[in-house]
Each structure stands twice: as C-alpha cells, then as structure tokens.
Amino acid sequence: MGDENQAEMFEDDEKPLDLGGSGSSSNKTRSSSSGVVGDCFAQNPDQVLENVLENVLIFLTSRRDRNSASLVCKSWYIAEALTRSDLFIGNCYAVSPQRVIQRFRKVQSLVLKGKPRFADFNLVPVNWGALFSPWVNSMSSAYPCLGKICLKRMWITDEDFASLGKALPRFKELVLVCCEGFGLAGLATIADTCRQIRVLELIECEVDDDEIDWLSHFPETGTTCLESLIFDCIDSPINFEALESLVIRSPMLKKLRLNGRMSIHELYKLMRRAPQLTHLGTGAFSPDEAALVEEQEMDLRSAFTSLKYLTCLSGFKEMLPGYLPSIQPVCANLTSLNFSYADINAEQLKPIICHCHKLQIFWVLDSVCDEGLQAVAATCSDLRELRVFPAIAREDSDSPVSEVGLVAISEGCKKLRSILHFCNKMTNAAVVAMSKNCPDLVVFRLCIMGRHLPDHLTGEPMDMGFGAIVMNCKKLRRLAVSGLLTDKAFYYIGQYGKLVRTLSVAFAGDTDVALTYVLQGCPELQKLEIRDCPFGYAGLLSGLHHFHNMRFLWMSSCRLTVGGCKEVARRRPQVVVEVIRDVYGQQTCELPKIEEDLGQTVEKLYMYRSLDGRRSDAPNFVTIL
C-alpha cells in the first residue's frame, strides 16, 4: 500500500517552480516594487552584499519560501538559484532538464514526479511517457555532486541505472515509488557500481524478473554504507544467503522491508543479525514448509524483544494469525504500524493494539470491522494518520466498517490530521461529527464504494457531511469526495475550501455549476482529479483564469468534446492540453487523428502548465491540442 514514511516527500502540493528566467513577467512585476534591496543590487552590484544574500538564503529550507524569494528581483532570483541544492519537480513535463540545468548549478538532491496519479488505477496507458532517460542523461554530467534521487510514477530502464552508476559512482540514495520499466538487472547495476549507496527503496514498483541475483552484486567484503533497504514489491525469489551476509556487513542498517518470498524463519534470522533496526517490513508472516522442523527452535517473541529501537512495523503478507502475538514486545514503542496486508479480525487486533499507546500512523484492512476501529480509538489517542483499506473488492456487499467506526475514531483520536476511509455506507451525521471532533484535519479522503450512495439512514445526499468538513476543518489541504453529491456540496467546497490544494471527485455533481464553484472558489487549488462526472465545456471554461497556476487537471469519462478542449488550448497557450484515448485491444498505428472531429467525445483529458510547451515523446494515442 506504500510507505508511510515517504508520504511527506511525495505529497508536496506547493506551486511548481518558476523556471522562466530572470526576464519573466512575474519577475519584472515584482522587481518594480521590490524595495531598496532589489534596486541596490540592480544599480550598484556589490560582491560583498551578494555573498551576504547567498549566506542568508541558504537557511531557507521551505520550497515555498524559496520560490517566493526568487521572485523578489533579479539579484534574488540569481542568488536563490545558486544556493538551491534540493530540487522538487512535481511534473516531469512542466520543464525540460536543460532549463533546470541552466538555472540551478549545484543540485544535490532531486525529487521528480511523472504520470498522473490515476495511473495507479490503470486509467493511464502503460506507455504514456514519463521517461527518466532525458533527465539522467542530462543531469549525470551537469551535477557531479548529485547524491539523491526520488522518482514517482516514472519509466526508468536498466540502461538508465547503468548511466547513473557510471556517471555518479558516489551516488548515495535512490527511492522509487510506483515506477516501472526496469528489472533485477538494473538493481544489480546499482549494487555493483554505486558502492557508497546508503538508501535503496522500491515502493509499489513493477520490477521485471530477469532471474538476476541482484543482492549478490553488493560488495562481498568489508562493511557497507547501507542504511535503508526496501524491496517488498519484488515478487521473485531472493537469495537469502546473500541478503543475510549483506545485513551482517551493514551495521548502519536501520530500515529493512522484505518481500513475500521471505519466510518467518528467515525473518527470525535477520532480526537476530540486526538488532539496531528502527523500521522493519516482515514480508510473509508465515513459515516455509521446508523449515517447519525448525519451529521448535525459533523463539520469535524473543527476536522481537531484541529490537529495542524499532518504531515502524509493516508487512505481514500471507500471515498466519497464530504468530501475531509475537510482536507484542515492540508494540509499546511503535509510532507506525501497517496492517494493510494482514487479513485479521477485531479479536486478533485487540491484544496487539491495546499496547500501542504511542501509535501515530496506522494502516489496516476493513476486516477488523467497527469493533477493531473502536479498539484503536480507545488506545491510540495520539494517532495522526489512519487508513482503512478494503480487504476485498466490495461494490454489492456491505463493508464490515461503517459510520460507527468513523465516529469512534473521531471521538478517541482528536489529534488526527489525515484519514483515508473505505466503506460501503456512511451518514452525514458521522462525517459532521468527524469535522467537529477533529478540526485539525489536513487530509480527508472518504471513499464510499459504490456509485451515488446516499446517507444510508436518511436517504439524503452526502452534501452536509462534506460541507461540514470544509467548514470546520480550517487547515484542510487535500479532499476526496464520494457518495451521492449534488452541486450543493461543491458550493460548500468553493465557499469554504480556501486552502484546498488537491481535490479528487468521482461519480458526483449534477451540472457544470459544480465545477464552476470549485474552479472559481478555491484559489489554492493545485491538483484536480475528476472521473465519471457530468461536467463539460462550460465547467472547464470557468477555470481559464486559474489553469496556469495549477499543477494539473485530470478529467475522464466526463462530457467533454474535442472542440471544447481545443478552445481551452487556444485561449491558454501556456497550458498543455493532452487528449488520451483508450487503446486496449487496438492498434495505435490505426487510430485516426483526433482533431478531425471537433464533436468527438474526449475519453481522458490531462492539462498541465509547462514552460517548454508540448512534449516530443507523446505516443500515438495521445493528441496534444
């Protein structure tokens, strides 16, 4: 389900970087009123004062503050670029690698995002784009001190790994989230060439099994620099002897997350070898049949007792519940517990959760029922993030969690900042109670499975519930709505959701007025995701004034036409308008050009701001208007 410790890194909702150059209109506007400091630099350049400015700017760590500082005047723009070492790019097509390199000369850390988020739901074709090759080929030579790369939803190949290892032998950190295109051979290249690697994390990636023993490519002798190794998304078997040897030679290893091919007996051996771990992913929490004879000699509870520094625990794939009590010795110190793969019930959860008084992050399946959530509420008063996932796909059958569990959580966990809750039925009263009991919510994502489901007690739309969330939760930044919602719910969002930056909508709304409320009422909106809603050209046109400030807009299965999208592209040339067609079972070479029929329905629309215009690597099923 992802790594809770990477959430903050990749959920940055700040405005994208302005890489337009010192002559951009925004800089000219700001410089005219920038005050004495800007005029002083413009008219009387002084190296001493420039050095002072640079020494001040290096203490700015917030990307938002740095972006603002770069807009003060030309001298600040230049100084900020010279002192920025950490670079975040929320859309790999918003700017070219060449433009980045031209402005920023001393980058040491890069966070780069690719495909739209709906790629996680298979709504974006696999070969849509987001290639890492142009970036690695340009940056590996321009940034010799580049030591950290974090990629999300990017296409990265084994050849990219080879280029990275060859150009940056001192490279230290690689984090890949929801990436694809590479195999075990690429990981072997990183292990073999990047001998100072400290962090190698693969989170929800699709890794091709090319039968390479990649773990054996780490240095065979001497201690390593490894601090974090996460590979729970790899489905292929692992050379346990090589892994055990690597763990023994990595005294600084703090994070280790295993895949489902690792048995509980192998987990036991690794825990004995690495008592310094702070983060552990257990892999499959069940014994290997060939190792059952060793069960009498294995004291799993004792092994967990030895992990005195453990604060984050996850994994439990293919778990045998009989082994679950063995984790009790570490529960008192846990701040993060991920049961999102553990199909356990409330009776199995209670003996564990009652010891987790320090828990701040908890992910769980809805198999724990409302009773399990009530147990969480009774113990975890310091909880900040809760995610409840469906154990199985349920559209026609009732979920074992309901408004009862949500209300219990709101009453017992009043420090809650983020909630993702899947259910089949909900009431307005429960959502209103959540808004009043947890006013500090920053993220609220309620996913009522099934389309257009109302308050199951009153039969009314869920308008009042979501209206209460945006009215009472003044810090709300991210909102996902579901259930039966009329235009009134979107009126509330536009009226009170002034700080909302990310909004996800599915199967909701009555008319284009709903979209108008949002686009004209939410000035901070950066990311808008819409699917299966009755919104068309009129709603889209209402956001013309705001699109150049947004990171992206995604709409699929709505009421858009090619002609309407072309009009938006014509009136906002700084925004790239992509029309994406479904190509399942079709030959892309036979697809007709989409511009020929202006009345044709648009299947998927993806709009984003770009300083370099349309991309050159769009496949045949993507038409850029």
Per residue in 129-138, pLDDT (tens digit) is: 999 999 999 9
To which residue do tokens 């003044």 refer?
474
Does the pLDDT at position 341 exceed 60?
Answer: yes
**Positions of E strands within 94-253:** 109-113, 148-152, 173-177, 199-203, 228-230
- Cα 553 to chain center, whole Å? 17
Does the pLDDT at position 41 exceed 90?
Answer: no
Is-contact 149 110, C-beta < 8 A?
yes
For 139-176, write each residue's pLDDT tens digit.
888 998 999 999 999 999 999 999 998 888 889 999 99
- The model's confidence at residue 226, banded by pLDDT at 50, 70 and 90, is very high
Task: Give the model's pLDDT for residue 80.
Answer: 82
Q: Of 33-37, 181-185, 249-253, 473-477, which gets the smallest average pLDDT? A: 33-37
Task: Give the model's pLDDT for residue 289.
Answer: 58
Task: Give the model's pLDDT for residue 292.
Answer: 53
Range 241-265 average pLDDT: 94
For 354-375, write each residue's pLDDT tens digit.
999 999 999 999 999 999 999 9
Task: Give the model's pLDDT for residue 82.
Answer: 84
Identify the DSSP state of 601: B
Task: Give the model's pLDDT for residue 34.
Answer: 41
Task: Give the model's pLDDT for residue 597.
Answer: 64
Q: Label residue 539 exposed, middle or buried (CB < 10 Å: 0-12, 13-18, 19+).
A: buried
11 against 392, higher pLDDT: 392
Task: Give the model's pLDDT for residue 2.
Answer: 43
Query: CA triplet 103, 109, 115: central angle to 5 degrees?
Result: 85
Is-contact 190 212, C-beta < 8 A?
no
Q: Of 91-95, 117-121, 241-245, which gets the smallest average pLDDT? A: 117-121
Dist CA 239 CA 49 (whole Å):
58
- The model's confidence at residue 193, banded by pLDDT at 50, 70 and 90, is very high
Going by C-alpha positions, the residue among 336, 360, 364, 340 that lies closest to residue 350 is 364
Task: Give the model's pLDDT for residue 287.
Answer: 78
Range 528-556 average pLDDT: 94
Does the pLDDT at position 550 exceed 70?
Answer: yes
Task: Give the model's pLDDT for residue 599.
Answer: 73
Does the pLDDT at position 81 exceed 70?
Answer: yes
Could you tell me if residue 58 is left (phi over 0), alpha (psi between -120 and 50 degrees) or otherwise beta? alpha
Dist CA 482 CA 448 (whole Å):
6
Task: Give the model's pLDDT for residue 65.
Answer: 81
- The model's confidence at residue 553, banded by pLDDT at 50, 70 and 90, is very high
Could you tell me if residue 492 is left (phi over 0), alpha (psi between -120 and 50 degrees) or otherwise beta? alpha
| Tokens linked to 284 | 């499959």
Dihedrals phi, psi of 341, to nearest 5 degrees: -115, 0
Task: Give the model's pLDDT for residue 48.
Answer: 57
Dihedrals phi, psi of 152, to nearest 5 degrees: -135, 130
Task: Give the model's pLDDT for residue 418.
Answer: 98
Dist CA 578 CA 569 (whole Å):
9
Rounded CA Rg of the chain = 26
Does the pLDDT at position 47 exceed 50?
Answer: yes
| Tokens linked to 251 | 């005294």
Instruction: Identify any residues that bridge with 256 across adjacent strands, giving them in sequence order.
Output: 229, 280
Dist CA 557 CA 123 (whole Å):
10
Dist CA 422 CA 405 (whole Å):
11
Percent of the chain with pLDDT over 70: 87
Q: Which amino acid is at 354?
A: C
Is-contact 471 435, C-beta < 8 A?
yes
Task: Give the model's pLDDT for residue 584.
Answer: 61
Does the pLDDT at position 286 exceed 90?
Answer: no
122: Cβ contacts below 8 Å, ≥ 6 apart: none
Going by C-alpha positions, the residue among 557, 624, 625, 619 that lies closest to residue 126 is 619
Does the pLDDT at position 266 exceed 70?
Answer: yes
For 122-131, write each residue's pLDDT tens digit.
888 889 999 9
**Longest C-alpha distance within the chain, in Å?**
82
Is-contact 152 560, C-beta < 8 A?
no
Task: Give the model's pLDDT for residue 593.
Answer: 59
Does the pLDDT at position 587 exceed 60?
Answer: no
Going by C-alpha positions, the residue among 167, 171, 211, 206 that lies closest to residue 191 is 171
Percent of the chain with pLDDT over 90: 69
Task: Give the model's pLDDT for residue 279.
Answer: 98
Range 606-612 average pLDDT: 94
Does the pLDDT at position 11 exceed 90?
Answer: no
Is-contact 378 345, C-beta < 8 A?
no
Pairing of strands 148-152, 199-203: unpaired
Range 460-481 average pLDDT: 98
Does the pLDDT at position 55 exceed 80?
Answer: no
- The model's confidence at residue 24, banded by pLDDT at 50, 70 and 90, is very low
- Burial per residue of 275-293, b for 16 or more beta-carbon CB atoms within 10 angstroms, e otherwise: eebbbbbbbbbbbeeeeee
Does the pLDDT at position 15 exceed 50?
Answer: no
User: Would you tell me the crossing angle of helices 184-193 and 158-167 to the nearest 10 degrees?
Assistant: 10
Does the pLDDT at position 182 exceed 60?
Answer: yes
For the chain, what is the mean pLDDT?
Answer: 87
Dist CA 392 CA 541 (whole Å):
39
For 205-218, write each residue's pLDDT tens digit.
999 998 899 999 99
For 298-338, write each residue's pLDDT tens digit.
789 999 999 999 999 999 988 888 899 999 999 999 999 99
User: Does residue 302 sit in helix, strand or coil?
Assistant: helix
297 against 563, higher pLDDT: 563
